[in-house]
Amino acid sequence: MDDATVEALGMLTQAWETTQRARGRLYDFHQLTGGADRMVGEAVRLLRQAGHHEQADLVEREVQGADVLPGMWTFQIVEAYDDGYHQRFTDVARRVREALAGDRDHIAEAEMKHRRETT
């Protein structure tokens, strides 16, 4: 395989790996936001217990269980990313690798490993 193709496939793989990192951040966002929402529920309970019913109602009505984006909870954002952009990118990257490299991945790294082991 020529060097230009190896470089192009390496860049495509690096880009896909970056989307994996972004996907992980979305799961972090999802779990952190869910955890915060559970804490909000506890805060509402504690506000009521302390006799602050008006403030508890405000927090419960405006924050607890609220959409983080219009019409979406965090799990829906994760699902939209997974089922949309990420799946499309994964499929296209696989098709390109199949066409140019027989679906072998990390070709640039494999060549680097081979060069370093033989020198």
Query: 5-62, pLDDT tens digit by residue?
Result: 989 999 999 999 999 999 999 999 999 999 999 999 999 999 999 999 999 999 999 9
Q: Is residue 25 part of a domain?
A: yes
Q: Is residue 16 part of a domain?
A: yes
pTM: 0.80
State which residues form the domain around 76. Answer: 3-32+68-118
How sure is the predictor about 104, in pLDDT bands with cuts at 50, 70 and 90?
confident
Distance CA 113, CA 61 (A): 58
Distance CA 4, CA 39 (A): 52
Give 99's contacts (C-beta < 8 A, 6+ positions apart). Answer: none
Q: Is residue 104 part of a domain?
A: yes
Q: Is residue 83 part of a domain?
A: yes
Q: Is residue 60 part of a domain?
A: no
Q: Is residue 54 part of a domain?
A: no
- Number of domains comprising the chain: 1
